[in-house]
Amino acid sequence: MNYETIVIGAGLAGMLAALVRAERGERVMMLAKGHGSTHWAAGCLDLLADADDPLGAINQLVQARPAHPYALAGVAALEQALARVRGVAEAAGYPLVGNAGRNLLMPTALGALRPTAFVPATMVNGEARQLGDGRPILIAGLHELRDFFPPLIAANLRAQGYAAEGVYLELPPVERSHDFNPVVMARLFERPAFRAEIGRQLATLVRKGGYARVGLPAVLGLYNAVEVVRELQALTGALIFEIPTLPTSVPGMRLFHAFEQALTKAGARIQIGGWVLRGEGSGSHLHAVFSEAASREQRHMARRWVLATGGIMGGGLRAEHTGVISETALGLPVRTPSGRSDWFQARFLDEAGHPVFRAGIAVDAQLRPLDAADQIVYTNVAVVGSALADCDPIREGCLEGIALATGFAAGQL
Amino acid sequence: MDHIELSLTQSLDHCIKCNICTSACPVAAVTDAFPGPKYVGPQAQRFRHEGQPVPDASVDYCSGCRVCNQVCPTGVKIAELNARARAQIVAERGLPLRNWLVARAGLVGRMSCGPHAPLLNFGLRLSPARWAVEKVIGIHRKAPLPASSTYTFRAWFRKHRAPATARRQVAFFHGCATNFYEPHVGKAAIAVLEHNGFEVLLPKQQCCGLPLISNGDFKAATSAHEANVQALVSYARQGIPIVGTSTSCTLTLKEEAPEILALHSEDVQAVAAGTYDIFEFLRSLAERGELKTDFRPIERHLPYHQPCQYRAHRLGSPAMDVLSLIPGLVLEESHAECCGIAGTYGLKKEKYQIGMDVGAKLFDMVKRSGSDLALCDSETCRWQITHATGVTSKHPIEILAEAYGLEL
């Protein structure tokens, strides 16, 4: 069917762009090859890592680096985007808290502290400045949950001066006996009897150890996490906080679900499992894209397109061993280091980062893709998120920030 | 090694172990018997080698719903890996009688359809009979078995008089369910197609072979598909679209049989490329402005479940797209991964409860809607929905025929 806008990609950038356009009354579809990067990330909003005041630092960055995605989208778009995404989360009963003017420091599954600007309300009690109030902290987990080791987390927090101890809880009786990945655990936490038993064990530990705060893996329910945290706080008398786990990320899935609800409410269509293979245009106008489907391709028609397919990690860019980096959906020209030998610095942990991760699509002020001669490739395409050039989102700690700012900006065009 | 085998083997290396598939898998969500698509798919595949015994049989608990393929961000062909792994188990250990039987939808349908159907239907509603069937054969006593029809769709079609105004032709693939259990679905499809100016042709056909594939009987599935290709290829070569109302049959003709059974002849490819699910076909007409829109308003709010096998066509929601053209009709999408029946999966004694647990989200949604009617494109899913909720379920084509005001 014919859409006014088709957004390709279901990460934060694509979801926000689709939502903003659908809320303007357009017929919108979000088309994606699979579940988006939300399921891989911590479910927090990183704006800029290397700053106490990310918003202030972004204001300086947009002056110094005019091709950076933040500069293209503008700081105002970032601020509006943050307000909108917080509204989406709030409407799903899953508020995001924080401040664009001050980074929070959140413990990771290794007990390191990671700067980020907004976190779900279920995590905020673990913020480092609160952990540093001198009162004892308990990090608790379950043996059955892989890749979450409370003693390791506690030891690393202690090494940084926080009074943390680690403990394993007993798995309450359940019919399941294996494969306790984060999502299975989250479903168990939706059962009142399960979390009541966890609460009982924690209450005993809190009483004996005098813990003021308890950190748990971020598996406290898929759909009602705020309620689960509140309930555990009531049972234990301690402040509860979630610590992100390895993928699949339950907090990321909650964010995805919140957007899914908002998009459905706004009348947008979602097609997951449609891998875009190519586009078809004439001159600088993109008419159609074709997605992989059973026995033949599916053709999609729209007046306007948003490309939100991600970088190398998300699969929007593909790095070949031959030294070529290509854009996978529309075959757009990629700004890339000239040869494969220039992709990487000599040192793995070089502070300047590796040039290959700044590869991406160059765009004009309206996010339209440009070729090597700076000519617009398609006038009706906007490129958003990690597919954009001149930014290394993971190293710069701005993955969600540029996704939201550019996604929102594409919604306004 | 055929190209699918090669792509399956290579796609193992595209798995980044993110567990998105396991998180989305509706079966792993409700039972320990199935450790999840990542484990039995890309991970276990590294331990499976020709000529060596299968290391782990838990892949038999894969329902084949293909949600894993749908959500995988890196394009691993998990469902195909699982189907082939199951066939390897069957090749090694043989096919149990029960699976042999439920895989033969055409044979069972032919035997039960006819004037004696009411008696048979009555018999199968008796609990001692179902108890015996469970004990002897292994079909769960509560599992939804369809009521057989007193006449076949083909017999009706032979007497059917087509309007003389047709300008174009389509070939109709009715599948076993429409022929033996639900001729009314086929009648609605014929009425809609004829209303849109098509002459409907009825090729010779047999079971698409999907139940054989999903029970691991690749030998019988291959001969079923080859026979269908032989019967259908002339239509495909003439450019006459092959259109079906059973979304899993059309998926089998388009993709499952060629890919899973490694059948890649030019004829197979021509049939695959010429086959359409009915709403895919109608949507393409609508996109070209060729679909009639003389709809009567239907002021109803209905729950709609897109079957997992329809999502596996990777076409979005063609039925939603077309039905949205009917004034007044509002569809509420289930957003449920699967109804749990997955063809023959939920009929089996040891899997019935898993199937019911898988479908719980959908059943809740249907019941909460308060509607006395639910829509769903796949026959076994409709039977499952009605079994679990007591709500009547129809194929979306029946609503479309109603909106056109067509006499059936």
Task: Summarize pLDDT for A240-279 with one digit per residue, the tens.
Answer: 999 999 999 999 999 999 999 999 999 999 999 999 999 9
pLDDT at residue A148 tops 70 = yes
CB contact under 8 A, B273 and A295: yes
Mutate to test the interface with A, among B40, B78, B314 (most CBs of A within 10 A): B314
Note the pLDDT tens digit of each residue in B219-268: 999 999 999 999 999 999 999 999 999 999 999 999 999 999 999 999 99
Average pLDDT (A147-159) is 97
Is B29 within 8 Å of A184 when comparing Cβ atoms? yes
Taking the whole predicted model, whether its pTM rises above 0.90 is answered as yes
Picking from A176, A248, A293, the nearest residue to B19 by CB comes out as A248
pLDDT at B1 over 90: no
Please answer yes or no on whether A176 and B19 come within 8 Å at the CB atom.
Answer: no
Average pLDDT of the residues in A98-123: 97
Q: Answer yes or no: is pLDDT of A395 > 70.
A: yes
Residue A8 has pLDDT above 80, yes or no: yes
Whether the predicted pLDDT of A23 surpasses 90: yes
Give the pLDDT confidence score for residue B13 in this predicted structure.
83
Is the pLDDT at A181 greater than 60, yes or no?
yes
pLDDT band at A294 (very low <50, low <70, confident <90, very high): very high
Say whether A271 and B18 touch across the interface (CB within 8 A): no
Whether residue A105 has pLDDT greater than 90? yes
Per-residue pLDDT, A67? 95
Over range B137-143, report the average pLDDT.
Answer: 93
- Residue-range domains of chain B with CATH: 3-93 (1.10.1060.10), 290-404 (3.40.50)
Mutation pick from A179, A190, A276, A299 vs chain B, by most beta carbons of B within 10 Å, is A179
Do B226 and B159 contact (CB within 8 A), yes or no? no
Task: Indicate whether B170 pLDDT > 60.
Answer: yes
Please tell me the predicted confidence (pLDDT) of residue A2: 83
- Which of B35, B73, B283 minimises the CB distance to A315? B73
- Give residue ranges of B with CB < 8 Å to any A CB: 18-20, 22-24, 28-29, 32, 35-36, 39, 69-75, 251, 254-255, 258, 272-273, 275, 283, 286-287, 311-317, 320-321, 333, 335
> Residue A105's closest CA among A81, A82, A123, A83?
A123
**Minimal Cβ distance to A294: which of B75, B251, B286:** B251
Q: Say what percent of chain B tops pLDDT 70.
A: 98
B32–A175: do the CB atoms touch at under 8 Å? yes
CB nearest A298 (choices: B311, B315, B320): B315
**Position A127 pLDDT exceeds 60:** yes
Instruction: Pull the structure tokens for residue B168.
Output: 């174009």
List domains and CATH numbers for chain A.
3-96+253-412 (3.50.50.60), 124-243 (3.40.50.10660)
Report, as an integer, the average pLDDT of A326-332.
96
What count of other Cβ atoms lies within 10 Å of the Cβ of residue A383? 31
pLDDT tens digits, one per residue of A29-40: 999 999 989 999
* The pLDDT value given to residue B56: 80
Q: What is the mean pLDDT of residues A310-334?
A: 93
Picking from B71, B254, B333, the nearest residue to A34 by CB comes out as: B71
Contact A273 B70 (CB under 8 A): yes
B254-260: Cβ within 8 A, 24+ apart: B254/A294, B254/A295, B254/B313, B255/A294, B255/A295, B256/B83, B256/B210, B256/B213, B257/B208, B257/B209, B257/B210, B257/B213, B257/B221, B257/B225, B258/A295, B258/B225, B259/B4, B259/B80, B260/B4, B260/B80, B260/B83, B260/B84, B260/B213, B260/B218
pLDDT of residue B361: 95
State the pLDDT confidence band at B2, using cuts at 50, 70 and 90: low
Give the C-alpha separation, A118 to A63, whole Å: 24
- Mean residue pLDDT of chain A comes to 96
With CA atoms as reference, report the closest residue to A274 among B55, B14, B72.
B72
Give the model confidence (pLDDT) of B65-115 as tens digits.
Answer: 999 999 998 888 899 888 888 888 888 889 988 998 889 988 888 888 999
Question: Does the pLDDT at position B386 exceed 70?
Answer: yes
Asked if the model's pLDDT at residue B3 lies above 80, the reply is no
Residue where the block lists tokens 């709500």 = B391
B307 SS3 class: coil
pLDDT digits (tens, 9 = 90+) for B195-205: 999 999 999 99
CB contact under 8 A, B314 and A273: yes
Interchain proximity A1–B18, CB inside 8 Å: no
Q: Is pLDDT above 90 for A182?
A: yes
